[in-house]
Structure 1
């Protein structure tokens, strides 16, 4: 634990907020179109309809805000999943939540030709919930019952299944492939504020509720028997946690597609900074998860300019070494 006093934790959180704001400012400045700080400031204080101002206000601002919200959502979802399952590899991507939500959206696009953000959101929630149920059910089968390793294997199996079904649908429907291919790789390019407005009424309450339940999560991580002995209704807490994960994971997929590794990397990094107290882990997940995705989005638009890499590719490049390290440490290899 790097920050071992309350003062240091507060100071670190303030630094994280400043980092997030600086990265969001950088996201407004840097890209294919050349702009600078003065241009960005004038776009908000003296908008004149120029191409530069339109790009800043209508293109880059939504990207920065969406990246911050999606990154925070995935990080909190991963932290809660790891607490509830006692599995260091738990995250919406590894447990197939992202793949299931994405599959439901692709079915809507390729079969029913849906193009409504509101419909995408509800379908992503349904896909996330259905996948979570399948992973829990499959992971519970067998004599030993539910174990972290079986949950991981069940999640990987569901992720592979829904990814394969998604690819199969797109093979037989090339028109849908053109529409969702970039989104499936995880991307916030071209996203409008409308998409954020659609999911924010669900994501924001879920984040606030997760912060309210942080102390109860602390008790639950001490063991279910201990939690019950202290009067905690563990079943209700687990259901609430599962609903929060479904809303955050499904909402993130609806806006940005299946973005991997943030839900694994950020919770572990937050624990490294502040220890195992979820009253601090979750706020750190908000600022660090948002910061990581905004940073990855900046890199995504710069590395092969004038072309752009899906932000999901950048998070995979950043997150894969951490995933390997956590997998080896978490399962004692």
Structure 2
């Protein structure tokens, strides 16, 4: 591809020697997992977000698993989760023996719809997982009000949203607990997988720390308070993330600059293209997703122009084979299903040159101009 979607070579070029140094230093330190570099990174995230507790774990999915377990999720418990989302917001529920209750999304933003959330609450509901996707945040104020009214815990899936702000608060700080993922594709992408849990709840933090490390309390080794997981962060991952966090705000700023170019140009293509442009200055742009008419034709055209794109997501979760046993049918989640037919993500990464941004814009514009000529 002339213009790749993620372009990891460009993203890691600046840190080539630093990565080598970190691997060597950790490799000769005898400290590989959950040691001083992890503690340093936890403190750095604590300072960046203001969270009272930061617990470093292996990846975003394990963060969800640990938090759900810490919140008492298990057999007989219902957890409300978006129908349009990455699979881990539902699979972690099932793997704990609980029931995912799928909620439709807002037709414009693709985020969990508070009105449908309230309709879907059951007597067994215990937790709701509002998920921020791409660069847009769920309506946390409305979701929080509903959750408080019904006595639900709020697990904020803020995996892609470190640095985003809503109502003056950092993403991840608007529920009972949140999380950030550092999978290499994320805005603060690591070398390998990794994530952190953030919370101001002392008890959730205490249980989460033990769950990530076989139920140990971090004081007495090989003494297990309960059965936990091996969901610990590596020292190499932590050291690199601490290094990269020092320039994270600059990376976010550059991502917003690129998104602003897309927003300005693609807004003119309405109604063929719909893009969420609200709250631009407070967003953390992970991927740039828009709703596009004739989406599949557009993707093929862009591929022919050497531009790589991605589809987030090809199907709502309740209609995928993994959840077929729940018994949902096409039409049960109309807004989410529409998103799966129209959503397409354009390339966006901090190292992307403006020339490439303009090439993408020109190609999208040319496609719809040619479509109109043949109508």
Alignment TM-score, normalising by the size of structure 1: 0.26
Alignment TM-score, normalising by the size of structure 2: 0.24
| Structure number with higher helix proportion | 1
| Structure number with higher strand proportion | 2
